[in-house]
Amino acid sequence: MRKTLPLLLLCGLFLLYGCSASITPPAPPPNFSNLSENATQMAAVTPYITPDDLLITTPALDTTQEFQKELIFRDDFDRGLGTGWFWQNEVPTGWSMDAVPGTLQINAVAGYVNLKNAKNVLLRPVPEGDFMAEVSMLFNPDENDQIAGLLLYESSRDFIQAGLGYCLPELGCAGNSIIVDIYRNGKLTLPRNIINYKENTLVARLIRKGDTASLFISSDGTAWYRGGEYQINFTPQYIGLIAAQNAEILPLPATFAYFEISVPK
């Protein structure tokens, strides 16, 4: 049975984000290294992005994609983290599997992937060839540049982050929305991809097929909408989860109900 997040999880969620993990986290694989290239500031820090630099879309219901798939890996976050995960920049007190039992909660704190200071980025190696990553999550952003969701990662210079986020309406953004940010050579690719979406629960599927990544979204895992198709022009090495924000304000918890990887058919 599909595991989804009930909306009732929102109640009391923000009282629980300080809990720490009760299990021993997995260690990074021996061949993983946090790349040593010089960190590059964001190509355009969001407060200075103009409305002309944004691409705000409204997703269309997809009636052709049946998502036939062969499951490779699934983690329901109910018996500790599954095998194969590792943390990048782990802060043990910033994630928990006890705050909301049967889920993984990661606090969004200040940091950026391209600056190598995003905390508690959870990664695992991608399978060979084409694949699909799926996540069910709850997140309620309310400050600029908060985001939580999927991370398709080659390095701190080349990656895609896609999920629930917030972008200032006074900049022409949609406020609460789905944000797909693509970084190439350490710089944010413009226009940013902003998708109109006002729910705080999301089931997202990111499909890697050759040099493209396609995003499909749903509020309940039943009716699916086509979010967009994006050129990636890099070779993903890892796929995983991220929760981050741009300022030293109170941590904001993102709660993940399950994560899975499959091969689309």
Q: Which domains does the chain have, with CATH numbers?
A: 68-264 (2.60.120.200)
The pLDDT of residue 30? 44
The pLDDT of residue 10? 37
Best CA proximity match to 122, nearest among 82, 180, 181: 82
The pLDDT of residue 65? 61
Instruction: State whether residue 184 is helix, strand or coil.
Output: strand
Answer whether 77's CB lies under 8 Å from 98's CB: no
The pLDDT of residue 8? 37
- Ordered per-residue pLDDT tens for the chain, 265 residues: 445 554 434 333 333 334 433 333 444 444 444 333 332 223 233 444 566 678 888 888 886 666 788 999 999 999 899 999 999 999 999 999 999 999 999 999 999 999 999 999 999 999 999 999 999 999 999 988 899 999 999 999 999 999 999 988 877 788 999 999 999 999 999 888 999 999 999 999 999 999 999 999 999 888 999 999 999 989 999 999 999 998 878 899 999 999 999 998 7
> Side chain identity at 192, as an amino acid letter?
R
| Cα diameter, the chain | 46
Query: Alpha carbon of 60 to those of 101, 138, 191: distances in Å?
Result: 34, 22, 20
Q: Determine which helix (DSSP H) or strand (DSSP E) holds 245, and give its type and residue range.
A: strand 238-245
